[in-house]
């Protein structure tokens, strides 16, 4: 059985999902990619937007979530932490 | 205590090895602390404490070895006289040994607690005190110390082996073999009484272990 994702894993999955869509993703796509409920996804997105890592964007009345420059740098740091965590079996 | 059990040509070199080990472990501690501030996960904080403790132990070992060799050997004609001088300084010798043992056991004990998911502080403190008593008060404190450290590293290696089997990455391979090298090095210290070269082999194996850890940290920093 797959282990429960940590908070860090979930944030990493959300930001990675946005990055893989060239830094811009629709909420429904993000909901599918992040494997979260709509409510939980919004809680995490509010936190990420509060920290300036993710921003909300509108295009032809369609809502998008985008990664900010700070978000891209943070994701790079996250990847290093994930590599560190995996290498030491934490 | 293995501060002065090596051949004379190795004096000072072992201090260098210990200093290198200190630098590698402190870099791991610093990165883990950074991870804690970002991820807000306590396991990184405990990991920081573990490697910080190990780093302090190697700093003590490096300094104590350096002091013994540079300040005492420079003033006395040979190793026998040096050993007599050192053991006549019971406070310095004993304090250095006790502090080294305390910090290195604390560090590896925390790692074992993280990997075996031991949450009970009472259990950990009991195990820690027993290890200290064994390594400081026993008749064969030197052997007791290395056997205990070997056992701690054994449990760490088992966890890292399972981790490597699960993930099969270069990083997990490096960390596994680094801890394996540290574990195997403890065995060579048992044979110092037969030949001083085993002191050198033990130190070289430890150096290899820390080089592999350093290589892993380089790979982590380069990850984008």
- Is residue A68's pLDDT more than 70? yes
**Residue A54 and residue A90 in contact, taking contact as beta carbons nearer than 8 Å:** no
A7 and B40: CB-CB below 8 Å? yes
- How far does A82 lie from chain B, in Å, by closest CA? 9
What pLDDT does B97 receive? 80
Residues B34-58 have a mean pLDDT of: 92
Chain A residue numbers with beta carbons less than 8 Å from the beta carbon of B112 are: none
- How far does A15 lie from chain B, in Å, by closest CA? 14
Q: Which of B7-16, B33-42, B110-119 has the lowest mean pLDDT?
A: B7-16
- Rounded-to-integer distance, Cα A45 and Cα B114, Å: 31
pTM of the complete model: 0.82
**Mean pLDDT taken over chain B:** 85
Check if the interface score ipTM surpasses 0.95.
no
**Three-class SS state of B116:** coil
Count of positions (residues) in chain B: 224
- Rounded-to-integer distance, Cα B199 and Cα B204, Å: 9
**Residue B162 and residue B140 in contact, taking contact as beta carbons nearer than 8 Å:** no
Residues B162-184 have a mean pLDDT of: 95
**Residue B153 and residue B179 in contact, taking contact as beta carbons nearer than 8 Å:** yes
A84 and B41: CB-CB below 8 Å? no
Identify the top-confidence range among A33-42, A56-65, B68-77, B158-167.
Answer: B158-167
What pLDDT does B72 receive? 59
Chain A residue numbers with beta carbons less than 8 Å from the beta carbon of B34 are: 81
Residues 6+ positions from B208 with CB-CB distance below 8 Å? B178, B181
Chain A residue numbers with beta carbons less than 8 Å from the beta carbon of B159 are: 89
Residues B203-219 have a mean pLDDT of: 95
Residues B139-164 have a mean pLDDT of: 90
**Mean pLDDT taken over chain A:** 88
What pLDDT does B78 receive? 58
Query: What residue spans define the domains of chain A?
Result: 7-81
Contacts by B191-200 with C-beta closer than 8 Å and gap 24+? B192/B2, B192/B5, B196/B5, B196/B6, B196/B7, B197/B7, B199/B2, B199/B5, B199/B6, B199/B7, B199/B10, B199/B14, B200/B6, B200/B7, B200/B10
Q: How confident is the model at residue B118 (pLDDT cuts 50, 70, 90)?
A: confident
**Closest chain B residue to the Cα of A73, Cα to Cα:** B224
B220 and A76: CB-CB below 8 Å? no
Q: What are phi and psi of B12, to 5 degrees?
A: 90, -40
A89 and B163: CB-CB below 8 Å? yes
- How far does A80 lie from chain B, in Å, by closest CA? 5
Class of domain A7-81: mainly alpha
A89 and B159: CB-CB below 8 Å? yes
**Residue B143 and residue B190 in contact, taking contact as beta carbons nearer than 8 Å:** yes
Of B216, B186, B224, B209, nearest to B2 by C-alpha is B186
What pLDDT does B31 receive? 95
A89 and B174: CB-CB below 8 Å? no
Q: How confident is the model at residue B1 (pLDDT cuts 50, 70, 90)?
A: very low
Residues A27-51 have a mean pLDDT of: 90
Q: How confident is the model at residue B40 (pLDDT cuts 50, 70, 90)?
A: confident
A6 and B41: CB-CB below 8 Å? yes
Q: What tens digit of pLDDT does each residue of B47-102 get?
A: 999 999 999 999 998 888 777 766 655 555 555 555 555 555 556 667 788 889 88
Tell me how many degrees the CA angle B175-B177-B181 measures, rounded to the nearest 5. 120
More confident residue, B129 or B159: B159
More confident residue, B126 or B157: B157
Of A66, A71, A64, A75, nearest to A28 by C-alpha is A64
- Rounded-to-integer distance, Cα B28 and Cα B31, Å: 5
Which residue is listed with tokens 């056997």? B147
Helices (H), chain B: 13-39, 42-67, 79-87, 90-115, 121-137, 141-167, 170-189, 197-222
Q: How confident is the model at residue B2 (pLDDT cuts 50, 70, 90)?
A: very low
Chain A residue numbers with beta carbons less than 8 Å from the beta carbon of B162 are: 89
- Is residue B161's pLDDT more than 80? yes
Mutation for A interface: B220, B221, B224, most A CBs within 10 A: B220
- Residues facing A55 on adjacent strands: A66
B78 burial via Cβ count (<10 Å: 0-12, 13-18, 19+) = exposed
Of B19, B188, B219, B145, nearest to A88 by C-alpha is B219
Q: What tens digit of pLDDT does each residue of B131-151 get?
A: 888 777 776 778 888 999 999
Residues 29 through 58 of chain A touching chain B, CB cutoff 8 Å: none
A89 and B162: CB-CB below 8 Å? yes
**Closest chain A residue to the Cα of B223, Cα to Cα:** A80
Mutation for B interface: A70, A87, A90, most B CBs within 10 A: A87
């Amino acid at each position: 059985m797959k282990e429960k994702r940590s908070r860090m894993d979930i944030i990493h999955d959300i930001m990675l999902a946005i990055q893989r869509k060239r830094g811009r993703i629709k909420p429904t796509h993000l909901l599918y990619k992040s494997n979260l409920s709509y409510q939980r996804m919004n809680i995490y997105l509010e936190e990420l937007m509060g920290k300036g890592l993710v921003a909300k964007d509108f295009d032809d009345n369609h809502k998008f979530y985008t990664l900010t420059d700070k978000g891209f740098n943070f994701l790079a740091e996250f990847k290093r932490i994930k590599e560190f965590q995996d290498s030491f079996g934490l | 205590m293995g501060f002065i059990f090596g051949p004379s040509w190795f004096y000072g070199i072992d201090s260098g090895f210990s200093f290198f080990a200190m630098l590698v472990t402190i870099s791991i501690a610093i990165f883990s602390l950074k991870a804690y501030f970002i991820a807000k996960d306590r396991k990184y904080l405990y990991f920081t404490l573990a490697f910080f403790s190990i780093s302090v132990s190697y700093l003590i070992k490096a300094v104590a070895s350096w002091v013994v060799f540079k300040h005492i050997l420079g003033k006395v004609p040979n190793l026998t006289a040096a050993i007599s001088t050192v053991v006549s300084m019971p406070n310095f010798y004993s304090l250095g040994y006790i502090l080294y043992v305390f910090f290195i056991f604390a560090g590896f004990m925390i790692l074992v607690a993280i990997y075996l998911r031991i949450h009970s502080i009472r259990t950990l403190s009991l195990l820690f005190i027993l290890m200290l008593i064994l390594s400081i008060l026993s008749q064969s404190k030197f052997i007791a110390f290395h056997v205990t450290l070997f056992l701690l590293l054994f449990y760490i290696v088992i966890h890292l082996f399972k981790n490597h089997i699960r993930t099969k990455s270069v990083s997990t391979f490096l960390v596994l073999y680094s801890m394996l090298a540290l574990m195997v090095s403890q065995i060579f210290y048992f044979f110092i009484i037969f030949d001083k070269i085993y002191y050198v082999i033990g130190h070289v194996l430890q150096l290899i272990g820390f080089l592999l850890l350093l290589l892993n940290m380089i790979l982590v920093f380069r990850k984008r």
